[in-house]
Chain A
């Protein structure tokens, strides 16, 4: 169940050189600054960019090797482009059916109705693309890509052209895709927020190459990567809803390092959720504070410490083997005498529940 991609491409002012192994399940985010080759890599996977010496194998299906180049229209993939890509001469329904009609009946696994329902576009079917808002167009484009029952979904910054409100409108649909359909997704993004909400696996790209790749929670807390060094360093934690407190309107979530308390969220017990903790919101104490308003306090050990700028450090803590990042001043680290292996308490001032 893996995707193997090896591409080399040299253009006038850009070259791509990647050798990638990623899981063929869940959402893999290709993350990096503009111009680092994310889109080119995605296009090469789709066959829209021809890299002569490439190799590409998706879950056992070979799409490209020395003697083989499957043209894009014969690859069972779905592609969502960055900007509007609906055919202007067709209405929404005809756009949705364009790909579907070309897929043999035996290979159709995503019913059109399901795609329409998942993206909430039933009221738009008779409209022409120019009568839709940007967010609606992108939802139709996603449904259209789903309707071909892809074995692999490629999404090139599908939200980049939208304003914040439209992004918020589409996010729930993307998250439900993730939950309800078992289609691997490769998602290009340069937004840390999108990556934190959607990705299971993260591929960091830089100057046409892959600089690191791994499960999202590990990648975010690796002190040797730029993610943990930036001002918005954060930790993602998978937790399970354990119970609700009706009196205080709270929800309790368990993870291997303890129990989180967050504002009430209407989710069934045992639902798996993703929590995000900004490193700046995590402070460190040597003793368990009892006279504090902070509820989320966990015993932890210091794993590693790395400088973050001249005045601050990022501390990687392990709470029940789950890494949590804390951003504190270098002075605090010195006063607390933090060294790897030291037992401390991590206090999270705020915790965001992502899904």
Chain B
């Protein structure tokens, strides 16, 4: 028994989706998390609640609204079509957009916490040592928040791999394009192909566990060094 072609395609789609989503979230989420950690804006909590929403919202709800937004009659779907592209629903691009929302808290919250834990002192020290604000961010804040970056990366990646409801709503189930592992497993179970379902499930279980072991082991080492 081995993986068939569709399973391998689903694996690649899944890894590509998780990788791309994590990258986008790190790029957009880092400045946002930094701002959230440092800002004293009194209505900041509204934004924090919004970012945490995917933690509690049923994925189908998120998926439903994304479908409306990305579909041919939705604002983003319209925009994409106006620019000569397809409607975003049922495309890989749509899937990436959906995943970015879906995994957002898993990347932003660890980053925000890590930035907040640094406090303002090391940055003030760096300022008195001639470092400009951007310089301070890259040479002090980022290295000191490295455990936060590791956690954010792994959680963002792993959580995107585990995505099901949102993908089902907006990605459809197009083999080789938008079919991801979690949905492939569902299909196998539906078709009573328990062997292949086992293989994929076991693989995902192992992968997720290994990634979390990595996070906890490395973070433990960081905190020992820091003490």
Interface residues of A (CB under 8 A from B): 46-48, 71-74, 77-79, 81, 85, 87-89, 98-99, 102-103, 128, 130, 144-145, 148, 154
Contact = CB atoms under 8 A, between A and B. Distances in A.
Interface stretch (B35-43, B105-113, B118-126, B160-168): B118-126
A99 B127 CA distance: 9
A71 B135 CA distance: 14
B108 to A, nearest CB: 23
B226 A130 contact: yes
B130 A48 contact: no
Contact of A102 (B121, B130, B140, B146): B130
A332 B140 CA distance: 63
Nearest to B121: A85
Interface in B148-206: none
Contacts of A78: 128
A88 B224 CA distance: 12
Given A88-B225, A89-B143, A130-B227, A73 B127 contact: yes
A79 to B, nearest CB: 4
Given A47-B127, A74-B130, A130-B227, 16 more contacts: A72-B128, A73-B128, A73-B130, A73-B136, A79-B128, A85-B122, A87-B126, A87-B140, A87-B144, A89-B143, A89-B144, A99-B129, A130-B225, A145-B128, A145-B129, A148-B129
A85 B125 contact: yes
B20 interface: no
Interface residues of B, number: 22
B131 interface: yes
Nearest to B227: A130
Contacts of B130: 73-74, 99, 102-103, 148
B132 interface: yes
A148 B227 CA distance: 28
Provide the main secondary structure of the chain B interface. Answer: helix
A98 B225 contact: no
Nearest to B125: A85
Given A81-B125, A85-B121, A85-B122, A73 B225 contact: no
Given A85-B122, A87-B140, A130-B227, A102 B128 contact: no
A88 B144 contact: yes
A239 B124 CA distance: 41
Contact of B128 (A77, A128, A130): A77
A148 B128 CA distance: 9
Nearest to A79: B128
Given A88-B144, A130-B226, A73 B132 contact: yes
Contact of A144 (B121, B122, B129, B131): B129
A128 B125 contact: no
Interface string B204-227: 000000000000000000000111
A238 to B, nearest CB: 32
Contacts of A74: 130
7 closest Cβ pairs, A-B complex: A99-B129, A102-B130, A79-B128, A72-B127, A89-B143, A85-B125, A73-B127
B24 to A, nearest CB: 27
Contacts of B124: 48, 72, 81
A2 to B, nearest CB: 22
Nearest to A150: B128
A89 B145 CA distance: 10
12 contacts: A72-B124, A73-B130, A73-B132, A73-B136, A79-B125, A81-B125, A85-B125, A87-B126, A87-B140, A88-B144, A88-B225, A128-B225
